Structure 1
Amino acid sequence: MKDHNENNAAKEKRVSLDHSRRKILKLGSFAALGAAMGGAALLGKTTPSLAKANSGGTFYPGKLAPNETLNILIVNYDGGTLLDFAGPSEIFHRLPNTHVRYASLNGGDVTLEFGVKYGNTERLVDIEKTDLILVPGGSDLSAPMRPEYQAQIRRLAESAKYVTSVCNGSLVLAATGVLNGKRSACHWAFINKLSEYGAIPVSERFVEDDNGRFMSGGGVTAGIDFALRVAAKLRGEKAAEFTQLAIEYDPAPPFHSGHPRDARPEVIAMVDKVLPGASSGLARIPGVR
């Protein structure tokens, strides 16, 4: 009888945790996590994981008041890289009082890298302003480098409180002139082309300038790290850590070859063969002179 009761208790605990996890992932709000942790210890821990932060046990609030709305606009275009904005999108959608919109020059569908269709985007011209603009990168920047795209991106960036990019999306922003004299990250293969547009290339995974008005992430996967940094700065560490836990962002790369400083010479040579000039940060890409 004792074993039977213990088995039932364990089963009930698992069901409770599964239900809590589903609720967190579905609602994606800090309140959901608080409710889940208030009734039972998450994954058997006696101390809630949000009780302490990495910064000595103190959570720092974000720049925005909890009830202040944050409007985010993600620019889409043909040839863009899905993960550049899919990672940040996953983070931003889970932040409280935050609204995320997607827009392209003509609205509707765009064809991303590898032929991936992304649809139902708004028209850039129909968006009067946004608090934060994010320009992701791509394998072909011909579309966002066109004058029509550049004019809309420049218009929205000039009035935005926060101007951001991921990967070589910083080249698109730099080409509009809004990054002139500003520090910015970029994919390592293209980073030194930033200076050709007046920006200051910085080889880091996350870069900011003007007290956070300009924020950028390095290549492709840096978009998740970038978005968590943005979340912490604007919504506070607690919201950022909740989101990181909710999506189980716990990276453990199987290889240490994500950047030339770690990769083996023969691997770097393989990339250079596909992207001539990559190891010098001057790889060519369609749309960029």
Structure 2
Amino acid sequence: MTNDSENNRSGERPISGGYSRREALKLGGLATLGTLLGGGALLGRATPALAQASSAGTLSPANPLDIVIAVYPGGTLLDFAGPSEVFHQLPNTNIRYASLNGGFVTLEYGVEYGKTERLADIDKAGLILVPGGSDLTAPMQPEYQAQIRRLADSAKYVTSVCNGSLVLAATGVLKGKRSACHWAFINKLSEYGAIPVPDRFVEDDNGRFMSGGGITAGIDFALRVAGKLRGQQAAEFAQLVIEYDPAPPYHSGHPRDARPEVIAMVDKELPGASKGLARVPGVR
């Protein structure tokens, strides 16, 4: 799961020319995509928008980016699955998945994820991403916290999705820093010295610290990170490849939009949620 060649060996079906879907999309941008899919009408409207001049990222495409996604038991798959999909579309970018003990990790709902590397075996990360979870007992343990703090101290970019920001904050690395979090837990950040900001994407220190709100915000977060580091066109390419074109059937994704009775249902399930102070196992 750590690279495209492994994905191909595990059975990803090649498309024309012998390339896997992911490899083909990376190789030639929209030109390759249009040729392989038979292009004209499908890409007719999208091509002009993506052909426009766009802002450059802070990293040259020639500069490699090493991303470490730190997972743990009880973590939420979507918190990092969305960002992972975006990051895999970026040029010269390597994504590694690591956990405290390595191997397979049992996430939320019993999902078994792996095989992961050991955090202690990773010397450094260009970007570290800490996702959130329904149970933060494991990432709040001293051994895990020490590894996250070690990597965060030397990383060029320190990031989180959902209540993964609580894990980072508990290490002390977010003290005095602005950060996003899932709306139900956001005010817990201040208990660790971080500054809670109820936005879908938040950055501090000129982008060294970047965070996304709850769960699905991970895709918005990843696209913002992609645009900042690799440029707008690279981010737009990733967005098109994964067909991120959200059109939710209901406007109930945040308390500012949800009906009062629905908010009450969440508060019953997560006491304190509407005040941003819901409890999550592992957090005091």
Same fold (TM over 0.5): yes
Whether 1:98 and 2:96 are equivalent positions in the alignment is no
Instruction: Specify whether residues 232 and 277 from structure 1 end up closer, same or farther in structure 2 by C-alpha distance, changes over 3 A only.
Output: same
Q: How far 1:31 sits from its partner (Å)?
A: 1.9
Whether 1:206 and 2:201 are equivalent positions in the alignment is yes
Whether 1:281 and 2:276 are equivalent positions in the alignment is yes
Whether 1:247 and 2:242 are equivalent positions in the alignment is yes
The alignment covers a number of residue pairs equal to 268
- Unaligned segments of structure 1, at least 5 residues: 1-17
CA distance in 1 between partners of 2:172 and 2:40 (Å): 48
Whether 1:63 and 2:61 are equivalent positions in the alignment is no
For 2:184, the equivalent position in structure 1 comes to 189
For 2:3, the equivalent position in structure 1 comes to none
CA offset digits 1:172-216 (Å, max 9, x no partner)? 000000000000000000000000000000000000001110000
Q: How far 1:109 sits from its partner (Å)?
A: 1.0
CA distance in 1 between partners of 2:43 and 2:281 (Å): 51
Q: Which amino acid aligns with 1:281?
A: G
Residue 110 (structure 2) aligned to one of 102, 111, 115: 115
Q: How does 1:86-165 map to 2 (within 5 A)?
A: 86-165=81-160
CA distance in 2 between partners of 1:155 and 1:238 (Å): 33
For 2:25, the equivalent position in structure 1 comes to 28
Whether 1:52 and 2:46 are equivalent positions in the alignment is no
Higher alpha-carbon deviation: 57-66 or 262-271 = 57-66
CA offset digits 1:127-165 (Å, max 9, x no partner)? 000100000000000000000000000000010000000
For 1:7, the equivalent position in structure 2 comes to none
**Aligned partner of residue 52 in structure 1, secondary structure:** helix
Q: How far 1:41 sits from its partner (Å)?
A: 5.0
Is contact 2:97–2:116 with CA below 8 Å preserved after alignment?
A: yes
For 1:10, the equivalent position in structure 2 comes to none
Is contact 2:29–2:237 with CA below 8 Å preserved after alignment?
A: no
For 1:80, the equivalent position in structure 2 comes to 75
Is contact 1:52–1:59 with CA below 8 Å preserved after alignment?
A: no
For 2:166, the equivalent position in structure 1 comes to 171
For 1:223, the equivalent position in structure 2 comes to 218
Who wins on radius of gyration, i.e. which is larger? 1
Is contact 2:181–2:196 with CA below 8 Å preserved after alignment?
A: yes
- Unaligned segments of structure 2, at least 5 residues: 1-14
Q: Which amino acid aligns with 1:151?
A: A
CA distance in 1 between partners of 2:187 and 2:197 (Å): 9
Q: How far 1:119 sits from its partner (Å)?
A: 1.6
CA distance in 2 between partners of 1:153 and 1:115 (Å): 24
CA distance in 2 between partners of 1:110 and 1:46 (Å): 43
- % same residue: 71
Q: How far 1:26 sits from its partner (Å)?
A: 4.8
CA distance in 2 between partners of 1:258 and 1:193 (Å): 20
Alignment RMSD, CA only? 2.0
Q: How far 1:51 sits from its partner (Å)?
A: 3.3
Q: How far 1:53 sits from its partner (Å)?
A: 5.4
TM-score, normalization by structure 2: 0.89
Q: Which amino acid aligns with 2:180?
A: A
CA distance in 1 between partners of 2:41 and 2:80 (Å): 31
Is contact 1:133–1:163 with CA below 8 Å preserved after alignment?
A: yes
CA distance in 1 between partners of 2:188 and 2:242 (Å): 34
TM-score, normalization by structure 1: 0.88
**Aligned partner of residue 203 in structure 2, secondary structure:** strand
